[in-house]
Structure 1
């Protein structure tokens, strides 16, 4: 088997088991500190839909909001600062454009009623995790030491407390989660009311 074939099979396996693999948080260079990867949207830029399609690579119609060239920690810091003023919670979506569940959640965020909840209740940051090997320090900052799959959703108070610790990993099947369940969940945690 050639090296090229092995690489292809490894990448294909990563895509097929995207909701099952575990990534442990590392620190320093191993965690990708200094690598960039986030998209700041609602509340900071105010444009959920426009930001989600900004990357341009959208052949299947799903949004692709995760940008590998963003500085994730700077975007999180900016969202926390904005949240202190707006009294909204910070919504961190850790995922990747290759992941259909990450794109599926982004697509649900564009539906009118949920889009309004997100815009009024959250400072939204899209954190690109690559193949769960990038920006793991963002999750670790809030006490989440492993990513079991993508997307992983962290809801953080303006003071920096993780509010949804028991359900951060529940979104690995976001593309098949009923819309009403998704809407109810994000209404429950929305701030700024």
Structure 2
């Protein structure tokens, strides 16, 4: 009689160990785009924006960062992707780990008036002439994984038409 409760307990314990962790509540991108010529990519996006009348959406992040991958994933979601396609020229730039002194491509941020990038990701919205539209919020995206699709959509929609 004691064997049945012990066996049941053991089965439940094993089932608990085998459970799969909950999936993130954001659509995480599998890989964050990395380029050998990041400044060239930014210049190409600015040139495209000048021809299309769009703004540049410059996402500065890294593959190691779950918030960077979350933001990249949200940008691929159908609702946000349609907005980005309509309003922005999108470019990703790898910045490494600036908070630990191992930063990459930080001169790009400085060229648009951001002296420091305290973490990842950063989201810069630029006019075709390189004017930074969102200097107050560009470096506030370190919680992208915690933001909802609606929040991100609303912010990108606002920035698409924000006065300079």
- The answer to whether TM tops 0.5 is yes
2:112–2:130 contact (8 Å) kept in structure 1: yes
Distance in 1 of aligned mates of 2:79 and 2:28: 20
Return 5+ residue gaps in structure 2 as ranges: 1-26
Which residues in structure 2 correspond to 1:102-113 (within 5 Å)? 102-113=68-79
Distance in 2 of aligned mates of 1:61 and 1:152: 16
Bigger CA radius of gyration: 2
TM-score (norm 2): 0.76
Distance in 2 of aligned mates of 1:110 and 1:94: 16
1:66–1:95 contact (8 Å) kept in structure 2: no
Match of 2:146 among 167, 173, 176: 176
Match of 1:143 among 95, 110, 113: 113
Query: Where does structure 1 differ by over 2 angstroms across 4 or more consecutive aligned residues?
Result: 60-63
Query: Which structure carries more relative contact order (alpha carbon 8 Å, separation 6+)?
Result: 1
Which residues in structure 2 correspond to 1:28-107 (within 5 Å)? 62-67=29-34, 69-107=35-73
Quote how far apart the aligned CAs of 1:61 are: 5.8
TM-score (norm 1): 0.65
Distance in 1 of aligned mates of 2:116 and 2:106: 8
Return 5+ residue gaps in structure 1 as ranges: 1-59
Distance in 1 of aligned mates of 2:28 and 2:120: 19
Instruction: Give aligned pairs, total.
Output: 131
Q: Indicate the RMSD between aligned Cα atoms, in angstroms.
A: 1.5
